[in-house]
Chains A and B, each alone.
Chain A
């Protein structure tokens, strides 16, 4: 009984949200990219670049909001590299993703050292403040949702809803979904497949930038080596677990985050490693159970013509 009230407590809810945000944003990025038929194993590296970019932007301008702009720009550039290699040069998408992760792992450390003269971490920078929305915060019970929250909470929800809307209600979404499943059919219907793919891969990079900046200038106020710590791969898992759907990606991220929040707030007797394993086992089970049925986009990873 006591446990149950803990699970449903506001603390638990906010912890879950905080943990879900970076995974969810990157997962939506993964969804957009993979729906265009391009595999993105570089989410991890793109997030890392975003985390670094956020701190750099905040450091240079003193304005954390501009830090976010930096993050989006730098991670978007990584997306552009992945796009050019995969779409223009037809590099193996998997190898390109692996290469981007290694490159980002090195580059962020090198640049951190170059700016702050230390290996391992940056100096402290301005972070994004929390906001309290006047009016809404006074609502009983729900008020807490609008009190002292990071604007990222609302941003993430907005992005998820927007992504869903674009996917299922607009021309762009219809065409993107068609490209991921059957690019020849889309091309035969007059859709410029390459242009959509470029846009999708770059967008996924930008969303990773947003996710990375959350880790460095919202949740923290500095860049630390490898601070993404596998969240990019977890986002990939969330995208698969969520069925290559933006809302599904967010929900999967929340499920993953909930498991971790439970461990932290409840101090459960389950070893940490098993909680951390949870997202991967869950995704693996879904893949094995659904087998041939649960597929991503039909043409995912295949470059044709």
Chain B
């Protein structure tokens, strides 16, 4: 019972941040002459109203699960991996190349091999950023941002040139053979078994940090690097590992998009999953299950956006506003705390305990 109580303050703040973000975005809608109630009802309906929309919500939350979990690996180690975007491109690209190269081989071999290659590529990129961080003391955020662009542009070069699908007008690779793709859970939706992979990785992440020495060492470095060093932890190796694992989980976001939705690598396919993942992890308080919940919430926002747009006559990008506000509010507990306090003071003034 104690465990749930432990998480309560975190959950409360997250909830308060969401409420605040919804209130502020409602204010914005009112200002530009839209009906927030109508908009949010439509959004809810669009996200949960039917089996198909529910499937859409789930499917849209998958990449955010991975980027959110990825961010948490670094964050537990006291590192800020803003490079998820680049890592997911590199990872997805490596997987695609492996899958396309091994056409005709049995899927039981190719699929794991492709996925692992992608994770390795993302992991190497993340680990390299970690290495630069410890050895040269260049801040990981700057290096990761540079690599985001380098990775995106590099993959873009390949799918525009050497790997461009024959006769294709848009920059993309050949189609990956069906056998190598994630299976659809529901026909005619984009919901695939990648969802299970996301849940498995979340559970694995939980156990990794809870049960393993390496996970413990990463947490120790993140909480108190000096004490970690004194206890015998190798800071360089642990930092690289945290960033490497972060990179390989981020890669899964790209891999599942390519092997679950697009069936091929398309130039610039990610609408900033890497960055939204940061918001997901921050809102989920770096807890794997919090991240799954937040990813579902953000997935719902994205999947309900179109319905909201039609119904309320507002741009579907309103959900981005909500997400941006959520990240600002949740990163600033002082604001929510101030509001809690103000409410309590008013209650006291009214004589209600």
**Interfacial residues, chain A to chain B (CB-CB below 8 A):** 39, 41, 81, 85, 89-92, 94-96, 98-107, 109-114, 119, 230, 233, 236-237, 240, 271-274, 276-277, 280-281, 283-284, 287-288, 291-292, 301
A-B contact count (CB 8 A): 151
The reply to whether B320 and A92 contact each other, CB–CB distance below 8 Å, is no
- How long is the Cα–Cα vector from A89 to B335 in the complex, in angstroms? 8
Starting from the known contacts A99-B327, A101-B324, A109-B317, 18 additional A-B residue pairs (CB-CB under 8 Å) come to A81-B328, A89-B332, A89-B334, A94-B141, A96-B328, A102-B275, A102-B323, A105-B317, A106-B324, A107-B320, A110-B32, A111-B32, A113-B315, A276-B149, A283-B146, A287-B142, A291-B137, A301-B139
Nearest-CB distance from A43 to chain B (Å)?
Answer: 11
CB distance from B86 to the nearest CB of A (A): 10
Q: Are B331 and A96 in contact (CB under 8 A)?
A: yes
Closest to B149 in A: A280
Partner of B143 from the list A101, A113, A284 (CB cut-off 8 Å) is: A284
B145 and A233: CB pair below 8 A? Answer: yes
* CB < 8 Å neighbour of A291 from B138, B145, B276, B323: B138
Restricting to B104-150, which residues have a CB under 8 Å from any CB of A?
Answer: 132, 136-139, 141-143, 145-150
Query: Contacts A114-B32, A287-B138, A288-B138 known; A276 to B315 CB distance under 8 Å?
Result: no
Cβ of B277 to closest chain A Cβ, rounded Å: 10
CB atoms of A102 and B317 under 8 A apart: no
Is B165 part of the binding interface, using a Cβ–Cβ cutoff of 8 Å?
Answer: no
Q: Check B58 for interface membership: any CB of A closer than 8 A.
A: no
User: Which positions 139-169 of chain B face chain A at CB distance < 8 Å?
Assistant: 139, 141-143, 145-150, 153-154, 156-157, 160-161
Decide if B33 is an interface residue (CB 8 Å cutoff): yes
- Interface, chain B (partner A; CB < 8 A): 28, 32-34, 80, 82, 132, 136-139, 141-143, 145-150, 153-154, 156-157, 160-161, 272, 275-276, 278-279, 282, 309, 314-325, 327-328, 331-332, 334-335
How far, in Å, is B336 (CB) from chain A's closest CB?
Answer: 11
Q: How far is the CA of A206 from the CA of B146 in the complex (A)?
A: 25
Q: B33, A98: Cβ atoms under 8 Å?
A: no
Which of A81, A92, A281, A284 meets B331, CB within 8 Å? A92
- In the bound complex, how far is the Cα of B275 from the Cα of A280, in angstroms? 18
B31 (CB) vs chain A CBs: closest residue: A114
Contact, CB under 8 Å: A280 / B146: yes
Cβ-closest 8 pairs across A and B? A106-B320, A103-B324, A109-B317, A102-B324, A113-B315, A106-B321, A114-B32, A273-B157
Answer whether A100 and B142 are a contact pair too, CB < 8 Å, given A94-B80, A276-B153, A280-B149: no
Which residues of chain B are near A96, meaning CB under 8 Å?
328, 331-332
Evaluate contact between B149 and A98: CB separation under 8 angstroms: no
State A114–B145 Cα separation when bound (angstroms). 32
With A103-B321, A106-B324, A288-B136 as given contacts, are A113 and B314 in contact (CB-CB < 8 Å)?
yes
Nearest chain-B residue to A109 (Cβ)?
A: B317
Cα distance A112–B316 when bound, in Å?
12
Q: Provide the bound-state CA to CA distance between A58 and B315, in Å.
A: 22
Give chain B residues whose Cβ lies under 8 Å from the Cβ of A288.
132, 136, 138
CA distance A283 to B149 in the complex (A): 12
Q: Which residue of A lies closest to B338 (CB)?
A: A89
Contact (Cβ within 8 A) B331 A273: no
User: How distant is B126 from chain A, measured CB to nearest CB, in Å?
Assistant: 15
Complex CA–CA separation, A283 to B132 (angstroms): 14
10 A-B pairs within 8 Å (CB atoms) are namely A89-B334, A99-B331, A101-B275, A101-B324, A103-B320, A109-B317, A114-B314, A271-B160, A273-B153, A288-B138
Which residues in B have their C-beta under 8 angstroms from that of A100? 324, 328
Contact A98 B327, CB 8 Å, known A110-B314, A273-B157: yes
Q: Are B321 and A98 in contact (CB under 8 A)?
A: no
User: A98 and B145: CB pair below 8 A?
Assistant: no
Considering the chains assembled together, what is the distance between the CA atoms of A107 and B318 in angstroms? 7
* Cβ–Cβ contact B325 & A103, under 8 A: yes
Q: With A94-B82, A95-B331, A98-B275 as given contacts, are A106 and B323 in contact (CB-CB < 8 Å)?
A: yes
With contacts A102-B323, A281-B150 taken as known, whether A85 is within 8 angstroms of B332 at the C-beta atoms is yes
Please judge, given known A-B contacts A91-B328, A277-B150, whether A107 and B275 are in contact too, CB under 8 Å.
no
- CA distance in complex: A207, B323 (Å): 26
B141 and A274 contacting across the interface, CB-CB below 8 Å: no
- Closest residue to A291 on the B side, CB-wise? B136
Q: Nearest-CB distance from B238 to chain A (Å)?
A: 21
B142 to chain A, nearest CB (A): 6
Q: Is the CB of B146 within 8 A of A112?
A: no
- The residues of A that contact B138 with a CB separation of less than 8 Å are 287-288, 291
Assess A284 versus B327: contact at CB under 8 Å? Given A95-B282, A103-B320, A119-B316.
no
CB-nearest residue of chain B to A104: B324
Q: Which residues of A contact B278 (CB under 8 A)?
A: 95, 98
- Interface contact A284-B147, CB-CB below 8 Å: yes
Picked from B33, B136, B279, B331, the residue with its CB within 8 Å of the CB of A292 is B136
Contact yes or no, A102 B327, CB < 8 A: yes
If the complex has contacts A96-B328, A107-B321, are A233 and B149 also in contact, measured as CB distance less than 8 A? yes
The answer to whether B142 and A98 have CB atoms under 8 Å apart is: no
Q: Is the CB of A106 within 8 A of B328?
A: no
A284 cross-chain contacts in B, Cβ below 8 A: 143, 146-147, 150
